[in-house]
Amino acid sequence: MDYFPLFINLKNKHCLVVGAGEIAARKIELLAKAGAKIAVIAPEISASVMQLAANNSDIEISIKKFSTDDISQQRLIISATNQADINALVAATADAHNIPVNVVDKPALCSFIVPAIIDRSPALAAVSSGGTSPVLARLLRAKLESLIPPAFGRMAKLAEKYRALVKENINPPAQRRIFWEKVLQGSIAELFYSGKEAEAESRLKDAILNSPKQLDNSGEVYLVGAGPGDPDLLTFRALRLMQQADVVVYDRLVSTEILQLVRRDAEKIYVGKQRDNHSLPQESINELLARLAKEGKRVVRLKGGDPFIFGRGGEEIETLAEQNINFQVVPGITAASGCATYAGIPLTHRDHAQSCTFVTGHLKNNRANLNWQQLAAPGQTIVIYMGLVGLGIICQSLIQHGAVADLPIALIQQGTTQRQRVITGTLSNLPDKLKNQGIHPPTLFIIGTVVSLHDALKWFHADDMHNTTEDFIPQQ
């Protein structure tokens, strides 16, 4: 261990920052958040530092060169200049007076390192690479940020508020630890994080005073949108819930890469559907979610795209609501938005489309029951989910109801993933163009003149090693 990690109280303590450029401004801002009284010394002061001083009376600026007399009474010193001789002088002087010093980007001159900070006050986490790679530390911080909800600090204050009451009512200490683990990872915490803070506090107080064991039986269902495939498109909340779930009930369209992010010891139940091949009927899925929650389990219902856009999420939570089971819904990036973006096809554009319509292309009795007159109107974008089998009928119907035969249309297969394919054409020729192309679901169709922008705006290029036409095979 090259550095001993610790947290230092700087409230109302005198700290010195030598330098007043943009890097110094960031350090001053951090010290100000910690409540320090900050002296800034530099021959020239940047606009950013001037603005910080204007907004904080605890920042005092001295426009001059650093001298060794400036370090008296300082609790901590940071040197952030671009002059090697000044940095060395600051470090040597601080070291001679046993004052902790940090010289930005010069680990050899530092007695302490400023870490990358995850601030959920009063809870704090700090990450450091020991000065070897600040960028690496920031990347690790970003990963931790995604796992720690913004409300985590307020939750910590709530725990502090009831700490004495828990100690008074729950013994022995081992039981208190188990109690807090269940509170901070269970339904009470999720109520808090979803904005129901008063209800969460009421349930916490009731649990402390009456029956801590009731927490064992309070299951919950999280209806989570997994997005179109790229795991980087998951929301922070989705990832957090996936990593604390006891059971994950997932669809065919949830990519393997995303499924690998769930808690490793979680039970995984596959309920995917394909055309004319449903592994479990929808009604059975609804009841499965309810049963698992009643068993006291935290259940993630993981769905491709967004649960409320052709995801039948409404049907699932209706069953949960009817049976008084706690649930929350986490939106995901729907396939229309994700696939269009990765294909370089804007869904709306001032010169092409002033509206966008999402429809499902499922066939019944070899027909698609859609409002063809409305869909054939110009000046809009049409996005068709689940339209691969009925593409020929869809294109023919649009032309019959007034759409021009050369209206651009794009097929996007496995959009946002390394297996993404984009094939463009027109209403009149795309069905024939796709023959013998080995096209497999999941696919999405975008219709409208916005498709003509694809060649100029495409930016995402799948790795050639993975750019295949193989089926997506879900984990089962």
CA distance 298 to 288: 13
CA distance 182 to 179: 5
DSSP state string for 329-389: EE----HHHHHHHHHT--S-BTTTBS-EEEEE---BTTB----HHHHT-SS-EEEEES-ST
DSSP state string for 252-290: TTS-HHHHTTS-TTSEEEE--EETTEESS-HHHHHHHHH
User: Which residue in 13, 106, 268, 273 is the catalytic one?
Assistant: 273
Helices (H), 406-453: 430-433
Instruction: Give the chain's end-to-end CA distance (angstroms, integer).
Output: 43
User: Which residue in 27, 182, 230, 251 is the catalytic one?
Assistant: 251
Q: At a CB cut-off of 8 Å and minimum separation 6, what does 18 contact?
A: 24, 41, 42, 66, 70, 77, 78, 79, 80, 81, 86, 90
The amino acid at residue 437 is Q
- Is 251 designated active site? yes
103 three-state secondary structure: strand
447 three-state secondary structure: strand
- Is 119 designated active site? no
**280 is written with which tokens?**
């479990």
How are strands ordered across the β-sheet holding 59-63?
59-63, 37-42, 14-18, 76-79, 101-103
Catalytically active residues are 251, 273
